[in-house]
A and B are shown apart, each in its own frame.
Chain A
């Protein structure tokens, strides 16, 4: 029984990690159809803000990871949207190229600033024992954080006028303008929101993995797989894809090895995209957010 609950927590933990890696990308792709190749570097920046905030600026880890990191990376996202992305709306390939360029520039810039070495931070929570076993308290925190992110996004999209405008702009930006709205501003804020969520995710994962300027590359593939498999609905799609891939990956990791776990995740993704080219929410939960 104890062992089963540990396994469940491990599975929920890997689902939560997938959510935190990919939700920022899901917001930007789902709401704006922009493929942000610099998403991995937004995660990396979030990690650095959290670690430097804690180790060098003397801030509490929770303050630097949960407040400072999303704030700083969100502002970076707003600035990049204003400088680069807004000129390229509707030109998907050009946006991919431009964001890839941003990604290379951010990796290069951070390498110059901090060097090409891994920086880490101790896991800020003690482990929790369940019977004869123990699980990382931080993993439990990540599960709670992922749930809070979903709840926050749901309220934002469903209850606020910004959320209403964002959903309307996704469906018909020209009509939003014809009613007197400002779709350009909605796009800018949505991109900033996606960047802020990436900053939060990167910061939350930093204690588990440490950060290095090239760490984005190890996140980006999983983030894209989750987002594309989820489909157009941001929350329902991300949740369903994360649950599927997180469970498959973790169960195979437990039965075999972490490598087989990764392989199983990728095979599941390939089969899923073959069967549901529009992603899970292209077929199911179409009307959800």
Chain B
């Protein structure tokens, strides 16, 4: 459903991605692993269109997205949960979720009800300003807001950064459930190897702006391989 080939991008004139190739099938979840500064977040932002695509192709369901602006990629079904969550902090939780329905406000009520079914922890917080939530609750809200747009592909950037373990488990459960029930595809940037290994079918090692190898989480010894790659001594 998503094909990225030879993608190059960067900030200003500084190149970061030096030709990334990646394909993703419907309902597949792939992880991106790598040390800091190797281009994982840049790759997500380039796929979302927040950074200009200098060279290469991005196609989703056969539709060329390479020259399309951010909002058209969102309308093509890509959802984005960026690093730092990027919530509308002065708006209430409910208003954040309604903004998630910006593509189709007429269906907001039903969408929000569905999302709250998945993320019941948000229900008692609906009237609270998003900026007043804990880090974990903010992460759930960022995911919920993204799901309100009914994406069939979501780009998740370090969802476990600085949040409590029980919310991590909740996020994992929701993602697995959506992948099974709705065929949601996921690209996940994450440093937490347990998290990656619990939901990803494939993990791509990103090094110096391109994909250097593919790791199969089911293969024996794969966790040690991954830890060695990001420089943690197993």
- Chain A contact residues: helix, strand, loop or mixed: helix
Closest residue of chain B to A178 (Cβ to Cβ) is B80
CA distance A191 to B22 in the complex (A): 42
- Is B175 an interface position by the 8 A CB rule? no
Instruction: Assess the A179–B82 pair: CB atoms within 8 A.
Output: no
Instruction: Assess the A177–B88 pair: CB atoms within 8 A.
Output: no
- Is A181 an interface position by the 8 A CB rule? yes
Q: 1/0 per position for A25-51, CB-CB distance to B under 8 A? A: 000000000000000000000000000
- Is A161 an interface position by the 8 A CB rule? yes
Closest residue of chain A to B155 (Cβ to Cβ) is A178
Give the contact-size bracket for chain B. Answer: 20 to 34
- Is A167 an interface position by the 8 A CB rule? yes
**Residues on the A chain within 8 Å of B100, using CB:** 179
CA distance A136 to B146 in the complex (A): 55
- Is A106 an interface position by the 8 A CB rule? no
- Is B187 an interface position by the 8 A CB rule? no
- Is B75 an interface position by the 8 A CB rule? yes
Contact of A181 among B90, B91, B95, B102 (CB under 8 A): B102
Please choose the segment from B25-33, B66-74, B158-166 that sits at the chain A interface, where 4 or more of its residues have CB less than 8 A away: B66-74
Please count the residue pairs between chain A and chain B whose beta carbons lie under 8 angstroms apart in the complex: 65
**Residues on the B chain within 8 Å of A164, using CB:** 91, 95, 98-99
- Is B6 an interface position by the 8 A CB rule? no
**Residues on the A chain within 8 Å of B88, using CB:** 167-168, 171-172, 175
- Is B121 an interface position by the 8 A CB rule? no
B217 smallest CB distance to A (angstroms): 29
Instruction: Assess the A171–B145 pair: CB atoms within 8 A.
Output: no
- Is A126 an interface position by the 8 A CB rule? no
Instruction: Assess the B70–A165 pair: CB atoms within 8 A.
Output: no
- Is A91 an interface position by the 8 A CB rule? no
**Residues on the B chain within 8 Å of A165, using CB:** 99, 102
User: If A167-B91, A171-B90, A175-B88 touch, does A180 touch B102 (CB 8 Å cutoff)?
Assistant: yes
A-B contacts, 15 listed (Cβ < 8 Å): A164-B95, A167-B90, A168-B88, A168-B95, A168-B99, A171-B88, A171-B89, A177-B69, A178-B48, A178-B82, A179-B100, A179-B146, A180-B74, A286-B90, A287-B129
